[in-house]
Every structure is written in structure tokens, then in C-alpha cells.
A and B are shown apart, each in its own frame.
Chain A
Amino acid sequence: EIVMTQSPATLSVSPGERATLSCRASQSVSSNLAWYQQKPGQAPRLLIYGASTRATGIPARFSGSGSGTEFTLTISSLQSEDFAVYYCQQYNNWPLYTFGQGTKLEIK
């Protein structure tokens, strides 16, 4: 089973600043990597798939990069609605999809 490790567990950033979240796979997942955003009491929302393609309706301030085992989600200028928990997910080794443990992005 591929293990996905996200860092940091919690990230404190001020509104308007840039946030960089990391996700590492225990073995290569090629570009089969997605990012999700989850707010309290809500279902996750797909942000990025294919490591770098924004999902429908996702603002351009969200960008994804990486391939193989190292991936990054960058939020260029944080808005108040961006403070949430973010999960990465690999779907290369399907059907055994695996998620990272999440990064909580909080207001500094």
C-alpha cells in the first residue's frame, strides 16, 4: 500500500500571504495525485487532479505541482474562505486509493 505523508500537520498563514502544502508518496504515483479541501461540517471538494489541473470552478490562486513522489499545493494569496483542511490522494495504485492525513491551514 502506498503511504501518503503530508506536511506540515498545521500551517499558520496570514490572509493575503502564500501558503505551500506538501505531500509525499512512499513510492511513485506518477501524476495521479489529487488535492481536496474540507471545511468543518462539509464534504471534501476536489481542487486539483493530475497533480496540476484545477477542477471546474476552482480559482486560479490554487495551483498544484510535482510528480513521482513529491507534490505541492500552493495558494498564492490566501482568502478567508481558504482556511480549511487539505488532503492529498493518490489514485495511481488503484483500486487502493490512499489519502494523506491532512494539513490544517489556519489563520495566523
Chain B
Amino acid sequence: EVQLVESGGGLVQPGRSLRLSCTASGFTFGDYAMSWVRQAPGKGLEWVGFIRSKAYGGTTEYAASVKGRFTISRDDSKSIAYLQMNSLKTEDTAVYYCTRDLIRYSYGNAFDIWGQGTMVTVSS
């Protein structure tokens, strides 16, 4: 079964850091671009950033709201994607979803697989 499982969420104070993990199974993780999408309580979906597969350099792109504070990385040997979040703000409070790019060996497409999400609460 193709699956993504996020972990690492929790309560953190403003200005602190947190790292989320996304563990993949059921497919060849290294062949796909991966994205993070978040959803604030009662709000809509907001794309956070993505990482290309190693075939495309493993490079990353970010939304303006998180650029310079968040970093996405991947460990293909463990089938895990990471979201390192630094200098957290109260407005970063959200459920964070890990997603897979629809098309293998590509990027810049829709997201066909989503994890169940992990909640991050930024509060003092």
C-alpha cells in the first residue's frame, strides 16, 4: 500500500524550531518530488514547499511565507522527507501534510498521495 506518515508535530514556543518527518512506503520514494502543504485550523490549504528528486538535483522551492525559515530535505535511503522549521511564528500553527507528486521522474504536478497530517501549534 502506498502510504505517507508524518510525525514530529507538537506544541512549540514562538521563535523555536521543530522538525517534521514524512516516512514513505509502498513506492520508490527516490523517484518522486515531495511537497509539504499546511492547513491552519478552520482554513484552507497552503503550499509550503517542495523538493525535487535527486534526478533533478534534489533542489527545493518554498512559499514566500516560509522562505528563509523552513528547509526541506530528503533521505532516499530511508524513504523520509523532512521539514525543518526555524523561527516559528504563531501563524505557522497548522496541520502539516506531506504529499507526493503525481508523476514519477517529474515535478510540478498535482499531488496524488497525502499523509494524514501532523499538528503543529506555536504558542507561548
Residues of A within 8 A of B (CB): 34, 36, 38, 42-46, 49-50, 55-56, 87, 89, 91, 94-102
Instruction: Find out whether the CB atom of B46 lies under 8 angstroms from the CB atom of A43.
Output: no
Q: How many residue pairs, one in A and one in B, have C-beta atoms under 8 Å apart?
A: 57
Instruction: Find out whether the CB atom of A87 lies under 8 angstroms from the CB atom of B114.
Output: no
Pick out which of these stretches binds chain A: B10-18, B20-28, B74-82, B104-112: B104-112
Give the one of A89, A91, A95, A98 with max B CB within 10 A.
A95
Instruction: Find out whether the CB atom of B97 lies under 8 angstroms from the CB atom of A91.
Output: no
A96 to B115: give the CA distance in the assembly, Å.
21
In chain B, positions 82-117 with a C-beta closer than 8 Å to chain A are: 97, 102, 107-112, 114-117
Instruction: Find out whether the CB atom of A34 lies under 8 angstroms from the CB atom of B115.
Output: no
Q: Is the interface of A mostly helix, strand, loop or mixed?
A: loop
B55 contacts A by Cβ under 8 Å: no
In the complex, chain A residues whose CB is within 8 Å of the CB of B110: 34, 46, 49-50, 89, 91
Given contacts A43-B97, A46-B102, A49-B102, contact A98 B112 (CB under 8 A): no
Instruction: Find out whether the CB atom of B46 lies under 8 angstroms from the CB atom of A99.
Output: yes
Instruction: Find out whether the CB atom of A55 lies under 8 angstroms from the CB atom of B112.
Output: yes
User: Which 4 A-B pairs have CB atoms at the shortest separation, nearest pair first?
Assistant: A95-B61, A34-B110, A43-B114, A94-B108
A100 to B45: give the CA distance in the assembly, Å.
8
B70 contacts A by Cβ under 8 Å: no
